[in-house]
């Protein structure tokens, strides 16, 4: 299975690295770093400091989610280990010994940004969090994400957990090809474990026509980070902003501009 993933990732990396960027004068965003990418062709429609490395907070969970979709049986139930309980930051308040399906954990992580759910998925996939992080970094290398490194599956601040706007867009374009990942990030609400009602943190699902996810992120050190994707007329555009105090409106404006450009 892992060898198949390596081959698929390598093919995607070659495609993404061969597409040139297109300049777009007159575009302005509040973000310190930003990129707008056509998910189908890989064409870059706009960029601003897109190769500047930074902390990425919970957008780390894009890689965790995609990799979990490959390595975890989403229909199977998993017992929550003690190591996944009480993780700081965003949480779905897992209890040691309770049982949830892989899909429940995936949605708990991608809708509600549960750091405990991310840890539980990592352990379910590879036995230990450390082994899963190794897989995250191997996958990043295979995808050609040269400015990306992971130190954990949830994105809590760590000097070894970083990426760029460009790499996050490339990762997202690849991850959206997986039907299970796509279904999770595009869900507005979910009920998991029979009694946990979740609402997706991504407000763009309600505010942007055709929005299909993907992931929010925030820590005080990283600032506000938002990775999103929207589809219109058979075309998918990905927007990434990092350290952006006005991210919701910036994404709305960028979609209106670049979808309108193609009309």
Tell me whether residue 48 is one of the annotated catalytic residues: no
HSE-CB at 170 with a 13 A cutoff on CA atoms is 29
Tell me whether residue 30 is one of the annotated catalytic residues: no
Three-class SS state of 210: coil
Enumerate residues 6+ apart whose C-beta is below 8 A from 32. 48, 49, 52, 54, 223, 242, 243, 244
Structure tokens at 170: 């490339």
Q: Which of the residues 48, 54, 90, 113 is marked catalytic?
A: 113
Q: Which of the residues 58, 139, 163, 228 is marked catalytic?
A: 58
Distances from the Cα of 99 to the Cα of 18, 105, 121, angstroms: 44, 10, 12
Q: Which of the residues 48, 61, 163, 186 is marked catalytic?
A: 61
Q: Are 30 and 162 in contact (CB under 8 A)?
A: no
Structure tokens at 224: 């506000």
The closest alpha carbon to 185, from 109, 241, 82, belongs to 109
Enumerate residues 6+ apart whose C-beta is below 8 A from 70. 1, 5, 178
Q: How far apart are CA 143 and CA 126, in angstroms?
A: 20
Tell me whether residue 61 is one of the annotated catalytic residues: yes
Give me the active site residues, please. 58, 61, 113
């Amino acid at each position: 299975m892992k060898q198949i993933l390596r081959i698929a990732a390598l093919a995607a990396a070659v495609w993404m690295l061969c597409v040139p960027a297109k300049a777009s004068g007159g575009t302005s965003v509040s973000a310190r770093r930003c990129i707008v990418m056509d998910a189908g062709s890989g064409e870059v429609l706009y960029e601003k400091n897109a190769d500047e490395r930074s902390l990425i907070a919970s957008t780390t969970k894009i890689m965790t989610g995609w990799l979990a979709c490959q390595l975890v049986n989403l229909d199977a139930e998993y017992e929550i280990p003690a190591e996944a309980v009480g993780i700081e930051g965003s949480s779905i308040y897992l209890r040691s010994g309770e049982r949830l399906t892989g899909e429940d954990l995936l949605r708990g992580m991608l809708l509600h940004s549960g750091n405990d759910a991310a840890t539980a998925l990592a352990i379910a996939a590879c036995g230990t969090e450390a082994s899963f992080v190794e897989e995250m970094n191997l996958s990043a290398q295979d995808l050609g994400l040269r400015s990306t490194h992971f130190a954990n599956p949830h994105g809590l601040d760590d000097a070894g957990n970083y990426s760029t706007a460009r790499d996050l867009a490339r990762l997202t374009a690849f991850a959206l090809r997986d039907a299970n990942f796509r279904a999770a990030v595009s869900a507005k609400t979910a009920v998991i474990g029979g009694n946990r009602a979740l609402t997706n943190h991504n407000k763009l699902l309600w505010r942007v026509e055709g929005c299909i996810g993907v992931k929010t992120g925030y820590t005080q050190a990283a600032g506000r980070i938002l990775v999103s994707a929207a589809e219109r007329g058979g075309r998918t555009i990905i927007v990434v902003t990092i350290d952006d105090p006005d991210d919701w409106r910036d994404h709305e404006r960028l979609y209106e501009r670049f979808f309108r450009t193609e009309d």
